[in-house]
Structure 1
Amino acid sequence: MTKVGFIGLGNVGGKLAGSLLRNGVDLTVRDLNQAVAQPFLDLGATWGEP
């Protein structure tokens, strides 16, 4: 399985991260605001620690 890390889940990053999740990519996400990342975490992404 492909593993991808994604930093920044704004207008562009959020759309790209969502597409990766829908396509079965093992995704780790990070954003300055963890609340922004929560929908992606709920869909199976992992929270990235610095």
Structure 2
Amino acid sequence: MGPGSPEHSPAPVGFIGLGNMGAPIARRLLSWPGGLVVCDVRPEAAEPFVSEGATAAATPA
């Protein structure tokens, strides 16, 4: 079945860089149905996103 069907669940989206430009973009992605994975060289930058449901990744890989 195609996108939108009950069997299709969106993949999580990843976002690298949560600075002045990246954080507002990542904030918009928190509502992505598949989930959000965030990564930044400063672990404390990911904390607000994790507290709102995102998953933190230790490395971009």
2:41 is matched with 32
Runs of 4+ in 1 over 6 A off after TM superposition: none
2:16 is matched with 7
More helix by share: 1
Sequence identity percentage: 42
Q: TM-score under structure 1 normalisation?
A: 0.83
Q: TM-score under structure 2 normalisation?
A: 0.70
Aligned length: 50
Task: Give me the whole-angstrom Cα distance separating, in 1, the residues matched to 2:41 and 2:58.
Answer: 11
Determine which structure has more spread, i.e. the larger CA radius of gyration.
Answer: 2
Structure scoring higher RCO (CA < 8 A, sep ≥ 6) equals 1
More strand by share: 1
Structure 1: gaps spanning 5 or more residues: none
Structure 2: gaps spanning 5 or more residues: 1-9
Secondary structure of the residue aligned to 2:14 is strand
Q: Is the 8 A contact 2:37 2:56 kept in 1?
A: yes
Task: Give me the whole-angstrom Cα distance separating, in 1, the residues matched to 2:55 and 2:32.
Answer: 15
